[in-house]
Amino acid sequence: MSAKTLAGLEQTLSEEIASLGGANIRAGKRIVFFEGNDELMMKANLSLRTALNILIPFYEFDAVDEEQLYEEIYDFPWEDMFSLRNTFSIQATVAGDLFTHSKYVALKTKDAIADRFRKISGRRPNVEVRNADYQFVIHINYNHCFLSLNSSGHGLDKRGYRLQSNEAPLNEAMAAGIILKSKWDKLSDIYDPMSGSGTFGIEAALIGTNTPPGIHRRFAFQTWNDYNQELFYKVLNNLKSNITELKANIYSKDISHQNLEIIHQNASRAGVEELLEIEQGDYFESEAKSIGGIVYLNPPYGERMAIEDAKAEYKLIGDQLKKKYKSCDAWIISSNIAALKAFGLKPESKEIVYNGGLECRLQHYKLF
């Protein structure tokens, strides 16, 4: 099996998979490979916070051109896997110079499957672009072709609580990944003082209560012909029985009244509204309420500002942390790398991560 993720979260995802009992875990670029049974596949879909989807590989071959690709796909016994009653979709990714058009590869793959069904039964299953029962993924790396089934369906990072967001929201998997990287003890206070649509606070509440992010959604594997419903409910109920009370305070603040409303709505949909201290306020008038909390900061990127102004703003943000969040840990993520350099504090660590395709820097500070 493999789990796709965002660049920069591979190690965190590997640790999450290990904690679920995955075997032979190997991290690649934006992907983690692991082994496990159906139960683990279900657990992974329900629980992993930093995965985008869980793929199950089932067919691998070599092809040097489109004809060979078509024939290899045509030869696979698709009728043993799904039937005319099911819908299917194909998503293709290509690397190397033999196959260069992913859409064309997807089309050839779809044609080969449809032609085989037509030959065998005179009819073909329908293609459904979104929410197909069988969502196939073909990945071609030079002449190596790998076919997998996407067991998740729509992305696991789309938790479903964020119907509205501010203009620059953090991906849910990224927010969860940063909280997991920070090794929060689930007891210390959490501050998200520029919380936008509330992603850090909501993800922290889910983590702090041991709530699996996927318990309210459906997955593609639940439409498969061999879906084991009994096993799924056993896994789900077992995970639900591990949900605990929140033992920490989580402060979600934003300066904008409009965002406050959005945070309330998102938190309510996620079922954690009453666990958050949601407050309208200015970061520059805020402070830590106890010793040893963690601050997650995702300030405005300042892309529309002159760089000198953005640097001055980030310097003030750093000064506020230094003065008012003494004894806290702080994690700051921003795509404005030049402005981050003016922060005025020495980071414990810094790394490149990607949010919504945008290169960002994640920096960790220990404040004394």
Ligand X SMILES: C[S@@+](CC[C@H](N)C(=O)[O-])C[C@H]1O[C@@H](n2cnc3c(N)ncnc32)[C@H](O)[C@@H]1O
Other Cβ atoms less than 10 A from the Cβ of 285: the count is: 11
Tell which residue, 9, 27, 19, 26, has the closest CA to residue 44: 19
Q: Find the shortest distance in angstroms from Cβ 264 to ligand X.
A: 13
Cα separation of 317 and 298, whole Å?
11
**Could you tell me the smallest distance in angstroms from the CB atom of residue 299 to ligand X?**
6
Choice between 31 and 168, CB closer to ligand X: 168
228 alpha carbon, distance to own chain's centre: 25
In whole angstroms, the minimum distance from the beta carbon of 40 to ligand X comes to 30
Residue of closest CB approach to ligand X: 196
Contact 318, 344 (CB under 8 A): yes
Q: Which helix (H) or strand (E) holds 349?
A: strand 349-355
Nearer to ligand X, 2 or 286 (CB): 286
Q: Are 30 and 353 in contact (CB under 8 A)?
A: no
Residue 189 near residue 290, CB atoms below 8 Å: yes
Q: Which is nearer to ligand X, 116 or 253 (CB)?
A: 253
> Which residues form the interface with ligand X (CB under 6 A)?
165-166, 168-170, 193-197, 199-200, 253-256, 259, 282-284, 298-300
Closer residue to ligand X in complex, CB, 106/178: 178
Q: Which amino acid is at 69?
A: L
Q: How far is the CB of 200 from ligand X (least distance, A)?
A: 6
* 3-state DSSP of 100-117: CCHHHHHHHHHHHHHHHH
- Strands 2-4 vs 87-95: parallel, antiparallel or unpaired: unpaired
Q: In sequence order, what DSSP letters do the residues of 119-169 get, joined into one string?
A: HHHS--PEE-SSS-SEEEEEEEETTEEEEEEESS-S-TT--S--SS--SSP
Give the residue with the Cβ less far from ligand X, 4 or 253: 253
- Least distance to ligand X, CB of residue 224, Å: 33
Residue whose CB is less far from ligand X, 36 or 196: 196
Q: CB of 203: closest distance to ligand X in angstroms?
A: 9
Q: How far is the CB of 128 from ligand X (least distance, A)?
A: 31
Q: Which residue number, 237 or 258, has a Cβ lying nearer to ligand X?
A: 258
The DSSP annotation for 10-76 comes to HHHHHHHHHHHT-EEEEE-SSEEEEE--HHHHHHHHHH-SS-SEEEEEEEEEE-SSHHHHHHHHHHS
